[in-house]
Amino acid sequence: MSQICCKCGKSEEEEQIVDGFCLSCYKTEFPLITSFYEKQFNLTACKLCGDLMYHSKWHEVHDDPKQTVLNILEIFLRKTKKESDAKVVLIEDFEEPSFDVASKQTLKILFEGTTNKQVPPYQQETDLNLIINIGVCERCAKFTRGYFESIVQVRSDRRVINDNEQLLITELVQEMKDKRAETGDRMAYISKVVDQSKGGVDLYVGNEKFAKSIAASLADNLAASTEYSTKLKSHKDGKPIYQSTYCIRLPYFEISDVVSYLNNEYQIIGIQQGRAALMHLKTRELKTLAAKESHPDYLKVLKKKDQLQKYIIVALQPPNVSVMNEVSYETLDLDISAIFEGHEDGDVILMVELPDGLFECKEL
């Protein structure tokens, strides 16, 4: 006896019958999705930074608000009651959310799957209301009123901070901000920067953890020392709240200075990742110190870079060389080993005067 659909009356000759229903009716009687986790998809947009909040958690928007909505929607759909085989195959394009006024629009979501192995995969389109409310995230609320938990002070020992160091500090701080943003730390911001006119800089930092990471990065990359202190700022719920300060002190030595290391004279020719690169003034041997040795306890400044003087090579007469001071015009006869190889008469070179003679330095 031929089977018929109990809903529309189609015979099995017209369409396959499964569990008393033709395939067309089966799709409506056995939907892939029965209900959403919540009736509406509710988000809150920060009117200042544009980030989106879902269930009390803020999500960074960056440059693509739509993609952020889709990422959060994926979280929403994980909790939707649906057949285990069902999956989202299409979300129709929708309007980019506004961060100025509250809005509402309908998302059209297409699911595909099956509830029965005898039934080929079929599709189901479902509407979901997207509601976007407007507010201000905690980070922006604190940022706009200048809130900070820590101060990172960058200072130098008996000298001004040079332009290269200023640039490196800026790059390192930006790098740390980018890294913390990737972890979702929304309080990793700097509310204020106070320039001390090359005598240093003060960074007012949103939270203690971020300040600590900035301080560690600056100290490691600038061969600097760190001092830490706290002071009572206020009380909250009867508990004391402290403000911390990290003082990063750049050493007296810098690139191009002449220093003493283990009773030998060297010129500092570079500082990378907190490690000083040295050139022995007599042997020209190159040496890179460990970070723990790139410190004033090991490197004593003999001459600052502005104390180096320029000399003109007057005559190359191996094994000697005659040089003339560019300012005083004093002429001196030296052993040719005091200068680099490859020079010619008339070359201008940079030299340092030490107790045991004059030695050529690199012009960096």
pLDDT in tens, 209-228: 999 999 999 999 999 999 99
Q: What does 67-111 look like in DSSP terms, one character per residue?
A: HHHHHHHHHHHHTSEE-TT-EEEEE---PPPPSSS-EEEEEEEEE
* pLDDT tens track for 313-326: 999 999 999 999 99
Q: Please, which pLDDT band fits residue 198 given cuts at 50, 70 and 90?
A: low
pLDDT for 57: 92
Q: How confident is the model at residue 157 (pLDDT cuts 50, 70, 90)?
A: confident
CA distance 204 to 147: 8
Strand 286-288 versus strand 275-280 pairing type: antiparallel
Domain boundaries defined on the chain = 18-138, 146-250, 260-302, 308-364
Q: Return the CATH number of the domain spanning residue range 308-364.
A: 2.40.50.140
pLDDT of residue 185: 81
Which of 76-80, 145-149, 198-202 bottoms out in mean pLDDT, i.e. has the lowest? 198-202
